[in-house]
A and B are shown apart, each in its own frame.
Chain A
Amino acid sequence: MRALTWHGKHDVRVDTVDDPEILNPRDAIIKITSTAICGSDLHLYDGYIPTMKAGDILGHEFMGEVVETGPGSTLKKGQRVVVPFTIACGSCYHCGKHQYSACDNGNPADNQDIGQEMYGQPMSGLFGYSHLTGGYAGGQAEYVRVPFSDVGPIVVPDGLTDEQVLFLSDILPTGWQAAENADIEPGDTVAVWGCGPVGLFAVQSAFLMGAHRVIAIDHFPHRLELAKRFGAETINFEESKTYEALMEMTGGIGPDAVIDAVGLEAHGFFVDNVVDQIKASLFLGTDRIHSIRQAIHACRKGGRVSMPAVYGGFVDKFPLGAFMEKGLTLKTGQTSVQHYMPALLNAIVEGQIDTTFLISHRMSLEDAPKGYKMFHDNQNEVTKIVLKPGAAADAAIPAG
């Protein structure tokens, strides 16, 4: 089959590799019909995530048709499914509590060592996202092996297009969980750093959860425009001073809840960020965290901090003092996709949430390396690239 493989920093290629096979009873093989490049794939592309190996197949936002099932799978051939990016067994203690992204068993035993050493406890497996999270082959490919297929994939009702449901795999539940982690109360003002897909879905989710105002912060005009479309007020940090603007816009109080949807590759030439970039290049500190610092600084006393953004390593100059003195609460974590999928699918069917607005580009899987470069170089216009396996290189892909 054809698959997008990682070979090093800014080096991804479409290679021909072996087709996946059923290996465990609960496996299914999915023929992928649509797959997307995620902002967090750019962290891999930029070489920020350790434990990548040459030849790793990327991709954790995908859906397709069931073509083969193991004896323990509940799926049937021919069903259309969206696959969660978190690999969860459904039977451990954490899955029992719907903490699917903390599943004890999704990550192969040998691969759990790194997480155990780095974080104290190993994390669940994820598709196509380094060996720290299992080393599973991802879905930017023609086919993928899906473990625990009786727990993860959700069957798509007839009449919905791929583009309407594809983002149930990661970014829609991630945006929703981000808003949920902000414990929004009616009348709240919520500030969201980063108007990428997760930030934009967090904006929509925050309003659905009763936020009175949402203030979206970014420096890409097009992305701010999208946030505005959903009713958010905007701050362009290249145009205005974020903290000062937030304080003035909230009557001198600060936002009740703040959401950092930017993460470890925060842009912008702030003094601390430049220091972080130098440190990152010297491996002194691995994460660049301007957005979370600023979010904590701006958050009102007793407020809530939600951090869907991906961080991997260690940081310094974390504003622990502000955090303690103001009595803030922080909630974060990889998304428990399986927990949110059914309700969000229903919200899509009911027309409460639309995700298709996000897609700016469609291309063949064969053109994925071009897509990565384009996404990396132009994040103003490129909001989401959907890849179609099986299409010829340079083919024009229609919406749907």
Chain B
Amino acid sequence: MAIMHDDAPPTTSKMKDIRDAGKEQLDPVANGSLIGRTVTINRPRAELFAYWADLINLPTFMDNVERIDMLSDTRSHWVVKAPAGKTVEWDAVITDKREGELIAWASTDDADVPNSGRIEFRDAGDRGTIVTATIAYDPPADIIGKVVAKLFQHEPAIQARRDLRRFKQLMETGEIATAAWTQKQLQEEKA
């Protein structure tokens, strides 16, 4: 008898085979962990998509991404902060892009931290737009303790949630909230 599964996203499943299926749907060759985070943003779908589609905007709200360079329309180079003032870098390619709906990417084969993901935009009526990030990442064992801890601030799901919150703040309010009260404190926060 076929088991009927519930309607919850695979990123929230307690069952490994369902999470694996979710990963495979994201990227047939993805290994490692799968995380998902959703936020509702009170802005039109097209506007959010446009901001995200221009990848060089992403470091504005992704605290650990120092810089993204566009190498071509589909290929980008990511420079990400690592401990002790170092950085890790990799190339990523856009694997799918549907105007106003979805952008999917995967790192190239030589990436230190192989990762792939998808950002989706769906209408939420008078609440704006539902934005869902789904990310698979597979850090090699030797750097897991260092780079990944810094890159994802101990838990990738938390980092993804923080990045999405900052994206929401920027889109809804035009700025990113901070409790600092001097420029110096603000720079220290961002370092």
Give the secondary structure class of B's interface.
Answer: helix
Taken together as a complex, chains A and B put the C-alpha atoms of A111 and B42 apart, in Å, by: 21
Tell whether, in the assembled complex, residue A24 and residue B182 are in contact, meaning their CB atoms are under 8 Å apart.
no
Q: Does B25 contact A (CB under 8 A)?
A: no
Q: Does A58 contact B (CB under 8 A)?
A: no
Taken together as a complex, chains A and B put the C-alpha atoms of A243 and B2 apart, in Å, by: 60
Contact A107 to B174, CB < 8 A, known contacts A21-B183, A91-B42, A113-B158:
no
Partner among B127, B174, B175, B179 whose Cβ is within 8 Å of the Cβ of A134: B179
Kindly identify, within residues 153 to 191 of chain B, every residue whose CB is under 8 Å from any CB belonging to chain A: 158, 161-163, 165-166, 168-169, 172-186
Tell whether, in the assembled complex, residue B181 and residue A145 are in contact, meaning their CB atoms are under 8 Å apart.
yes
Partner among B128, B165, B175, B176 whose Cβ is within 8 Å of the Cβ of A112: B165
Q: Does B40 contact A (CB under 8 A)?
A: yes
A89: which B residues are within 8 A, CB to CB?
A: 169, 172-173, 177
- Write the nearest CB–CB distance from A345 to chain B, whole angstroms: 25
Tell whether, in the assembled complex, residue A109 and residue B169 are in contact, meaning their CB atoms are under 8 Å apart.
yes
Tell whether, in the assembled complex, residue B168 and residue A105 are in contact, meaning their CB atoms are under 8 Å apart.
yes
Tell whether, in the assembled complex, residue A104 and residue B182 are in contact, meaning their CB atoms are under 8 Å apart.
no
A147: which B residues are within 8 A, CB to CB?
A: 177-178
Taken together as a complex, chains A and B put the C-alpha atoms of A23 and B176 apart, in Å, by: 10
Contact A107 to B177, CB < 8 A, known contacts A23-B183, A93-B128:
yes
A148: which B residues are within 8 A, CB to CB?
A: 173
Contact pattern, B 81-104, Cβ under 8 Å of A = 1, otherwise 0: 000000000000000000000000
Tell whether, in the assembled complex, residue B174 and residue A93 are in contact, meaning their CB atoms are under 8 Å apart.
no
Tell whether, in the assembled complex, residue A26 and residue B165 are in contact, meaning their CB atoms are under 8 Å apart.
no
A125: which B residues are within 8 A, CB to CB?
A: 177, 179
Contact A106 to B177, CB < 8 A, known contacts A93-B128, A113-B162:
yes
Q: Chain B residue with minimal CB distance to A117?
A: B158
Tell whether, in the assembled complex, residue B173 and residue A23 are in contact, meaning their CB atoms are under 8 Å apart.
no
Contact A25 to B174, CB < 8 A, known contacts A18-B184, A20-B182, A93-B128:
yes
Q: Does A333 contact B (CB under 8 A)?
A: no
Tell whether, in the assembled complex, residue A91 and residue B182 are in contact, meaning their CB atoms are under 8 Å apart.
no
For A, the interface residue count at a CB cutoff of 8 angstroms equals 37
- Write the nearest CB–CB distance from A22 to chain B, whole angstroms: 9
Contact pattern, A 194-210, Cβ under 8 Å of B = 1, otherwise 0: 00000000000000000
- Write the nearest CB–CB distance from B94 to chain A, whole angstroms: 26
Partner among B128, B177, B184 whose Cβ is within 8 Å of the Cβ of A105: B177
Taken together as a complex, chains A and B put the C-alpha atoms of A348 and B8 apart, in Å, by: 52
Taken together as a complex, chains A and B put the C-alpha atoms of A116 and B177 apart, in Å, by: 17
Taken together as a complex, chains A and B put the C-alpha atoms of A243 and B123 apart, in Å, by: 53
Contact A105 to B181, CB < 8 A, known contacts A93-B40, A96-B42, A113-B162:
no
Q: Chain A residue with minimal CB distance to B177?
A: A108
Tell whether, in the assembled complex, residue A18 and residue B182 are in contact, meaning their CB atoms are under 8 Å apart.
yes
Q: Does A221 contact B (CB under 8 A)?
A: no
- Write the nearest CB–CB distance from B157 to chain A, whole angstroms: 11
Using a CB–CB distance below 8 Å, which chain B residues touch chain A?
40, 42, 127-128, 158, 161-163, 165-166, 168-169, 172-186
- Contacts A72-B174, A91-B173, A109-B169 known; list 17 others, CB within 8 Å: A18-B182, A18-B185, A21-B181, A23-B186, A26-B173, A92-B168, A92-B173, A93-B40, A93-B128, A105-B173, A108-B176, A109-B177, A113-B158, A125-B179, A144-B181, A145-B181, A148-B173
Selected A-B contacts with CB under 8 Å, 27 pairs: A18-B184, A20-B181, A21-B181, A21-B182, A24-B175, A24-B177, A25-B175, A26-B175, A72-B174, A72-B175, A89-B172, A90-B173, A91-B42, A91-B172, A92-B168, A92-B173, A93-B127, A96-B42, A104-B168, A105-B169, A105-B172, A107-B177, A109-B176, A109-B177, A116-B161, A125-B179, A147-B177
